[in-house]
Amino acid sequence: MISSRIKLRDGKHLAYLERGVSKDVAKYNIIIVHGFGSSKEMNFLAPQVRELSIEFARVGGVEIPNNKRIEFSLQYIHGIGRSRARKILCNISMDNKVTKDLSEEDLITLRDEVSKYVIEGDLRRFNALNIRRLKEIQCYRG
């Protein structure tokens, strides 16, 4: 049975596929989140699992880990290191608590602050253009 897509807050869609029996008859509720590099056709037994749900916080287009403090979770974003993560937390005067304990308002504030910086794809593109420019002018650094 194929289900419809879910629209995320950032405007992207999450496509998912339901397999097995209907919800009324199901004994277990197992959710598997996978990326493009992993296999969704995994076979495993879950005799003792009653319900497994996976939630994540998405900041700057990156899924940051839930089980770490915000200062360290932000460092999973390309372009944010330890000092910038601390600076972001100081700017929004937020405590360094575990990511899963953030409220929706805290997440929105955090996303707004992170969006002020050049991160991820834009930063990678900027660095690649600079390296390409140095190679074109045959600089020793390129």
Tokens, residue 57 = 């916080």
pLDDT in tens, 3-51: 566 777 777 766 655 666 666 666 666 655 554 444 444 444 444 444 4
Which residues on adjacent β-strands are paired with residue 63? Answer: 58
Look up tokens 């959710």; give the residue.
Answer: 31
Q: Closest Cα partner for 110 from 126, 124, 96, 123?
A: 96
Q: What is the pTM assigned to this prediction? A: 0.59
Q: How far apart are CA 111 and CA 97, in angstroms?
A: 16
pLDDT in tens, 66-124: 999 999 999 999 999 999 999 999 999 999 999 989 988 999 999 999 999 999 999 99
CATH topology assigned to domain 6-121: Helicase, Ruva Protein; domain 3 (1.10.8)
Tokens, residue 90 = 């100081």
Q: In the chain, where are the structural domains located?
A: 6-121
